[in-house]
């Protein structure tokens, strides 16, 4: 990356946006198209002066924390070397929101970083791949994108990494920010922001490459706490619970949960609702108020998958349960 004229670093990691369809089977092979070949499909792609790094060729469900750490280092090196003014990272849509949030937590003082993907392979009729990629390149080059945190660009809309989630398995309008909405949008080559996210959590990457074991347990009507016991037996260092409504869990699970808390395992409580915050409103066995008194950490409005990312980073930084509680 010695060419100082390069303006955009395009990092590819696989996913549908870099996939090809086997027309005999109808199945999609993930991550087989290189970044240069993908970018070359955009008629005016040379206008963006891209430097391409094909980092991985993986479905996003195959990624691990060590892959995310490599993404962070690649992005940091690019900005430190001064060879780009923005980064676009292509990614499978299945776990894109988790990677985006991870990067948003640990990348400080960098230029614009934009994540995107697609719901259809590039060669598919009406594919969203090239539009999403071109929109992301435009957003990453825009001065308006400075100091906005890590962004996700999809279907002409710009989302904050801390707010966005995938809401549809197959529709091209696959991402949303329930309760918040996009922070901006693209109109041809114009990048328009309507608001900013004022409060962003910041964490260090942590010195250890070890991935702390954090399990998610989702509760439904009538469940007990056996999965909590199983998680502890598997060596869980942290737990994220997805409860009902304001953050309730079945009373049959409280006893096992109390054991986990007494062992010093940080437990974060989230809600299965798309909108709203976990809060101690009710006072009965299994309610958020009683669980908080027990020592459970309220995850506020973070969905379970992002609460897990935040907890993993907190544990990687050797934070105490008290410090983790303050973090959330």
The CATH number of residue 189's host domain is 3.40.50.1170
Q: CA of 16: how far to CAs of 39, 157, 170, 258, in Å?
A: 14, 19, 11, 42
Instruction: Note if 90 is an active site residue.
Output: no
265 inside domain: yes
Task: Determine which one of 12, 13, 16, 95 is catalytic.
Answer: 16
Give how far Cα 24 sits from Cα of 28, 127, 201, 238, 259, Å: 11, 19, 47, 45, 54
Domain membership of residue 239 (yes or no) is: yes
Nearest alpha-carbon partner for 1 in 63, 83, 65: 83
Number of domains in the chain: 2
If asked whether residues 179 and 236 sit together in one domain, one would say no
143, 160, 193 - which closes a domain: 193
- Please report whether residue 38 resides in a domain: yes
Q: Which two tokens stand for residue 291?
A: 């669980």
**Which letter does DSSP use for residue 252 in this model?**
G
- My answer on whether 175 and 107 are in the same domain is yes
Dihedral angle over CA of 293, 295, 298, 303, nearest 10 = -140
Q: What are the pLDDT tens digits along the chain (328 aa)?
A: 344 455 899 999 999 999 998 888 888 888 889 998 898 888 888 888 789 999 999 999 999 999 999 999 999 999 999 889 999 999 999 999 999 999 999 999 899 999 999 999 999 999 999 999 999 999 999 999 999 999 999 999 999 999 999 999 999 999 999 999 999 999 999 999 999 887 788 999 886 677 899 999 999 999 999 999 999 999 999 999 999 999 999 999 999 999 999 999 999 999 999 999 999 999 999 999 999 999 999 999 999 999 999 999 999 999 999 999 999 9
Q: Which domain holds residue 228?
A: 214-327
Domain match, 139 and 168 both = yes
Tell me, yes or no, whether 59 lies in a domain.
Answer: yes
| pTM confidence score | 0.95
Instruction: Compute φ and ψ for 300, nearest 5 degrees.
Output: 55, -125
């Amino acid at each position: 990356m010695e060419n100082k004229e390069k303006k955009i670093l395009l990092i590819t990691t696989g996913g549908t946006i870099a996939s090809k369809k086997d027309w005999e089977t109808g199945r999609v092979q993930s991550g087989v198209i290189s970044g240069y070949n993908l970018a070359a499909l955009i008629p005016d792609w040379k206008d963006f002066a891209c430097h391409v790094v094909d980092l991985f060729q993986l479905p996003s469900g195959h990624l691990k924390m060590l892959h995310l750490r490599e993404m962070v280092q690649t992005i940091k090196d690019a900005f430190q070397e001064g060879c780009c003014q923005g980064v676009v990272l292509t990614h499978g849509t299945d776990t894109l929101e988790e990677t985006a949030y991870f990067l948003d937590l640990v990348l400080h003082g960098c230029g614009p970083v934009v994540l995107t993907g697609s719901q259809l392979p590039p060669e598919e009729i009406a594919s969203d791949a090239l539009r999403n990629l071109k929109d992301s390149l435009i957003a990453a080059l825009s001065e308006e994108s400075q100091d906005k945190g890590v962004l996700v660009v999809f279907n002409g809309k710009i989302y904050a990494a801390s707010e966005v989630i995938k809401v549809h398995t197959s529709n091209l309008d696959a991402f949303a920010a329930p309760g918040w909405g996009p922070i901006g949008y693209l109109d041809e080559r114009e990048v328009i922001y309507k608001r900013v996210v004022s409060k962003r959590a910041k964490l260090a990457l942590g010195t250890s490459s070890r991935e702390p074991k954090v399990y998610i347990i989702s509760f439904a009507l009538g469940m007990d706490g056996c999965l909590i016991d199983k998680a502890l037996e598997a060596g869980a260092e942290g737990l994220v619970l997805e409860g009902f409504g304001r953050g309730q869990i079945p009373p049959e699970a409280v006893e096992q949960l109390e054991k986990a808390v007494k062992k010093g395992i940080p437990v974060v409580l989230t809600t299965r609702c798309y909108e709203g915050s976990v809060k101690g409103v009710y006072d009965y066995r299994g309610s958020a108020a009683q669980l908080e008194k027990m020592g459970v950490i309220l995850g506020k409005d973070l969905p379970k998958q992002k609460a897990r990312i935040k907890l993993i980073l907190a544990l990687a930084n050797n934070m105490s349960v008290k410090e983790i509680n303050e973090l959330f």
